[in-house]
Amino acid sequence: MFEGVFPRVSPNGKLIAHIDKKSIILRKISSYEIQAVFNVEGNVGWVDWSPDSENIVFSIEKSMHRNEVHIINISSKKITKILTTGILKDLNWIKNKVDWNLYRWKVSSPK
């Protein structure tokens, strides 16, 4: 039985990421074996994969009007906060970098 919410399959079809309370769990699709667990401070709102399956972007809900956006590099297991904002309007991957629109600002993450 699948546990967790908002499962996302990696673009290469090898891993699945899902939210379980205050963690992001990565599992191999072939065996359902846990590949990695990333514990975070706060409730995870959503997860998404980069097109190359090397990174996961996710949000942490800090308060009703304050979210943080983070990136996990799957190889290094490094988690980097890239944005603290109010409400996220749009998110796109452009050449494996995150590009998102806030209500009046356009911000790009460092590579």
> Whole-angstrom Cα distance, residue 25 to residue 38?
6
Q: In the prediction, which pLDDT does 103 show?
A: 34
Mean pLDDT by 10 residues, the chain (111 residues): 72 92 90 90 86 87 76 90 62 53 41 48
> pLDDT at position 26, please?
93
How high is the pLDDT of residue 42? Answer: 84
Instruction: Give the rounded distance of the alpha carbon of 83 from its chain centre.
Output: 12
pLDDT computed for residue 27 by the predictor? 93
